[in-house]
């Protein structure tokens, strides 16, 4: 799943991450929004870009909303997987880029007019019905359902317009040549039918392990690639949030105040669940369909199952689901149907509604008014949150004090003794190594590598704790001796011998002129694959990314077997059975579209590079400790 999710994230081009306002995505991807725990906390700035700043509360809300979007797609998503995806880092980068663009837009004197904002509002599908704007009253109602102030929403639209304008201006000078586009078109549209055999080294067995002389000789020939990276050692003090959380008490008055201050967080909007039977008609069969609708209404009045009749007779894309339009999707139905729905109570069925192009029968299967969860219902959740918040604040303050005392004494061990805290050795760590039970993410070792010898860090926020570390000594990167990395060298030598045997095995098959590769693979315990339509850059299972392969597929004569090519964990041979090439005449038919797409791609890459340079040149301030702490708070709510 991780590979699929990373691929989906990477498929969004840089400009899309920037131009689409995060605030707007969150509104319409998660109906009702996400909870805003901690909104009453003092605003602290995570990012400062020119006149813009991002508070912890705003970042927490954006991260929560993005995670909720992803959990809708991947229900099994857990916090550890989100961390592996580096979602919080991606969002941070996107927001920095967005703020940079807004600053640049204002320096250019760009503005968003009231008319432009109005046009943007009426263009959103969620505010349209049958291609027309739903009207200001319903527009306001939709925002109210999502607890979004109109002023804040329209401000976000103004920023989106500015982002679009500045993007157009910055990328106006980008161009692409026809020859570049032609080459890209060929790469996208040329295809080949291929088959290939793969032998992986895990299926190769050596008769015996390499001798000591072979090992020594292999090491001497490849000595330069074996280096021991710099390692560092330090002393550290850490406090676990959960340990202090047990000591924290929260009064009923604090819980009640938080509940009142954040009452919108505990509101659940009204919910109506709707099912529909839809029968389209033409002028020729209108009366027949109207009659059929009346017959179905009669069956429903006699108690027949609505879902079963919808599956049998309905003709819209929800028929296979028993006509279920869920809690929200029904709001995109016609105004006539919406009017009928609003008049029905739970369990009631409408009459046969003539829509002009078909007939509909509607059923309200559930109807729940807007409710506000009582204090008693959410008391435990609020108590837990306030305990965690107080514990984090207490740990942060205690570790801040420790760091100050330690810097004054220039000795973390002495400061820890004064503060009654225990100190531990990190042991030798490479940059990014975890500390088991304390820091599974490697944040402490990363901080250790940012310090000068003897220097003491600021508090470091990990997933499990808050720590302070002092850098004590280092072991510089150096040429490795065989004894230091004997196991690693032996593994490499065994792998090399297996690769040589794999290559030899495929060479013997290639020279044998066998034509039935599927049978050859079965007899020789090889992997065989046939690909009906292979394209430039296409991923092939078992082969990974072999640069040679693509060149071979589009140059090798038909039915000729290739030389064995290295494919990561083994070797492969490929044979091209058929090939479809494109002509210049084909290209001319779609040249306009292809040129436009190529220009868009070039603009995206220019903008991405421009912003990376702007980050370096402008005063972009990021409080990484606060960022890490806030991300942890949000991620911990989603469970491991």
Tell me the C-alpha distance between 164 and 598, whole Å. Answer: 19
Name the DSSP letter for residue 58.
H
> In this prediction, what percent of the chain has a pLDDT beyond 90?
46
Quick: pLDDT tens for 491-526. Answer: 999 999 999 999 999 999 888 888 899 999 999 889
User: Between 464 and 163, where is the model more confident?
Assistant: 163
Close Cβ partners of 173 (under 8 Å, ≥ 6 residues apart): none
256-266 mean pLDDT: 86
Q: What angle do CA 524, 530, 536 make, to 5 degrees?
A: 125
Q: pLDDT at residue 578 above 90? A: yes
Quick: pLDDT tens for 185-194. Answer: 988 899 999 9
pLDDT band per the 50, 70, 90 thresholds, residue 393: confident
pLDDT at 354 (0 to 100) = 93
Tell me the C-alpha distance between 501 and 195, whole Å. Answer: 22
Q: How buried is 175 (Cβ within 10 angstroms: 0-12 exposed, 13-18 middle, 19+ buried)?
A: exposed
pLDDT at 59 (0 to 100) = 86
Q: pLDDT at residue 397 above 80? A: yes
Quick: pLDDT tens for 376-387. Answer: 998 998 998 898
Tell me the C-alpha distance between 557 and 562, whole Å. Answer: 9
Q: pLDDT at residue 80 above 90? A: no
Whole-model pTM?
0.48
Tell me the C-alpha distance between 393 and 389, whole Å. Answer: 6
Residue 304: count of CB within 10 angstroms of its CB: 11
Quick: pLDDT tens for 430-460. Answer: 999 998 888 888 889 999 999 999 999 999 9
Angle between helices 624-636 and 375-409 in degrees, nearest 10: 150
Tell me if residue 370 falls in helix, strand or coil. coil
Tell me the C-alpha distance between 460 and 42, whole Å. Answer: 20
Q: List residues bridging with 368 in a β-sheet.
A: 271
pLDDT at 243 (0 to 100) = 85
Q: pLDDT at residue 639 above 60? A: no
Q: List residues bridging with 238 in a β-sheet.
A: 467
* C-beta of residue 485 within 8 angstroms of C-beta of residue 249: no
Edge-to-edge strand ranges of the sheet holding 271-280: 271-280, 358-368, 353-354
* C-beta of residue 426 within 8 angstroms of C-beta of residue 449: no
Domains of the chain: 2-173+617-636 (1.10.4030), 191-208+484-580 (3.10.50.40), 231-260+375-476 (3.10.50), 271-368 (3.10.50.40)
Quick: pLDDT tens for 609-625. Answer: 888 888 878 778 788 77
Alpha carbon distances (Å) from 306 to 312, 320, 338: 10, 12, 19
Q: List residues bridging with 528 in a β-sheet.
A: 197
Q: pLDDT at residue 85 above 70? A: yes
Q: pLDDT at residue 368 above 90? A: no
pLDDT band per the 50, 70, 90 thresholds, residue 547: low
* C-beta of residue 638 within 8 angstroms of C-beta of residue 43: no
pLDDT at 403 (0 to 100) = 93
- The helix (H) or strand (E) run that includes residue 620 is strand 620-622
pLDDT at 128 (0 to 100) = 82
Mean pLDDT of the chain: 85
Angle between helices 22-29 and 87-107 in degrees, nearest 10: 130
| Backbone conformation region of residue 38, classed left if phi is above 0, alpha if psi is from -120 to 50, else beta | left
Task: State phi, psi for 566 to the nearest 5 degrees.
Answer: -70, 130
Name the DSSP letter for residue 485.
T
pLDDT at 560 (0 to 100) = 93
* Listed range (49-53, 134-138, 563-567) with the worst mean pLDDT: 49-53
> In this prediction, what percent of the chain has a pLDDT beyond 70?
91
Close Cβ partners of 450 (under 8 Å, ≥ 6 residues apart): 457
pLDDT at 122 (0 to 100) = 87
Tell me the C-alpha distance between 29 and 572, whole Å. Answer: 44
User: Between 423 and 57, where is the model more confident?
Assistant: 423
pLDDT band per the 50, 70, 90 thresholds, residue 627: confident
pLDDT band per the 50, 70, 90 thresholds, residue 19: very low
* C-beta of residue 126 within 8 angstroms of C-beta of residue 28: yes
User: Between 120 and 277, where is the model more confident?
Assistant: 277
């Amino acid at each position: 799943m991780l590979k699929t999710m990373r691929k989906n994230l990477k498929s969004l081009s840089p400009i899309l991450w920037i131009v689409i306002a995060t605030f707007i995505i969150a509104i319409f991807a998660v109906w009702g929004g996400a909870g805003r725990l901690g909104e009453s906390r003092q605003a602290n700035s995570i990012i400062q870009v020119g006149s813009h700043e991002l508070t912890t509360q705003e970042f927490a809300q954006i991260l929560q909303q993005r995670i909720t979007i992803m959990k809708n797609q991947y229900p099994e998503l857990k916090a550890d997987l989100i961390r592996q995806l580096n979602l919080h880092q991606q969002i941070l980068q996107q927001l920095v880029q967005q703020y940079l663009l807004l600053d640049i837009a204002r320096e250019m004197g760009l503005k968003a007019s009231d008319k432009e904002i109005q046009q943007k509002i009426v263009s959103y599908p969620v505010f349209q019905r049958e291609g027309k704007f739903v009207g200001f009253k319903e527009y306001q109602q939709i925002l109210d359902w999502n607890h979004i102030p109109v002023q804040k929403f329209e401000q976000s639209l103004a920023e989106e317009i500015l982002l679009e304008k500045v993007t157009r201006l910055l990328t106006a000078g980008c161009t692409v040549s026809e020859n570049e586009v032609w080459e890209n078109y060929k790469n996208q549209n040329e295809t080949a039918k291929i088959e290939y055999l793969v032998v992986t080294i895990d299926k190769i067995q050596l008769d015996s392990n390499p001798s000591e002389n072979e090992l020594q000789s292999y090491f001497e020939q490849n000595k330069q690639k074996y280096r021991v990276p710099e390692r560092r050692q330090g002393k550290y003090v850490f406090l676990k949030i959960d340990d202090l959380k047990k000591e924290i008490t929260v009064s009923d008055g604090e819980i009640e105040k938080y509940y009142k201050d954040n009452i919108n967080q505990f509101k659940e909007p009204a919910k109506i669940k709707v099912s529909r039977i839809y029968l389209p008609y033409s002028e020729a069969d209108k009366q027949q369909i109207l009659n059929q609708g009346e017959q179905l209404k009669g069956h429903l009045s006699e108690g027949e199952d609505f879902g079963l009749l919808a599956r049998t007779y309905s003709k819209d894309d929800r028929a296979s689901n028993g006509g279920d339009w869920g809690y929200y999707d029904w709001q995109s139905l016609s105004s006539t149907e919406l009017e009928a729905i609003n008049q029905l109570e739970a369990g009631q069925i409408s009459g046969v509604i003539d829509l002009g192009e078909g007939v509909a029968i509607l059923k309200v299967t559930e109807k729940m008014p807007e409710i506000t969860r009582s204090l008693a219902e959410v008391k435990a959740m609020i108590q837990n949150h306030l305990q965690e918040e107080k514990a984090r604040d207490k740990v942060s303050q205690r570790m801040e004090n420790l760091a100050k005392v330690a810097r004054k004494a220039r000795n973390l061990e002495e400061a820890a003794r004064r503060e009654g805290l225990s100190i531990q050795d990190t042991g030798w760590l490479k940059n990014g190594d975890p500390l088991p039970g304390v820091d599974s993410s490697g944040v402490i070792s990363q901080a250790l590598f940012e310090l000068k010898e003897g220097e003491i860090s600021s508090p470091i926020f990990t997933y499990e704790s808050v720590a302070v570390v002092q850098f004590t000594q280092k072991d510089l990167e150096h040429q490795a001796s065989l004894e230091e990395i004997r196991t690693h060298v032996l593994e490499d030598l065994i792998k090399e011998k297996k690769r040589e045997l794999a290559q030899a095995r495929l060479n013997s098959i290639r020279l044998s002129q066998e034509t039935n590769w599927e049978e050859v693979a079965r007899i020789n315990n090889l992997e065989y694959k046939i690909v009906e339509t292979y394209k430039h850059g296409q991923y092939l299972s078992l082969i990974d990314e072999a640069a040679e392969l693509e060149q071979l597929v589009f140059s090798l004569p038909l039915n000729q077997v290739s030389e064995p090519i290295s494919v990561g964990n083994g070797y492969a041979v490929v044979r091209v059975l058929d090939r479809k090439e494109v002509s210049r005449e084909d290209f001319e038919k779609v040249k306009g579209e292809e040129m436009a797409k190529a220009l868009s791609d070039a603009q995206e890459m220019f903008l991405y590079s421009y912003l990376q340079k702007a980050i370096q040149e402008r005063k972009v301030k990021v409080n990484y400790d606060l960022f890490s702490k806030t991300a942890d708070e949000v991620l911990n709510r989603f469970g491991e």
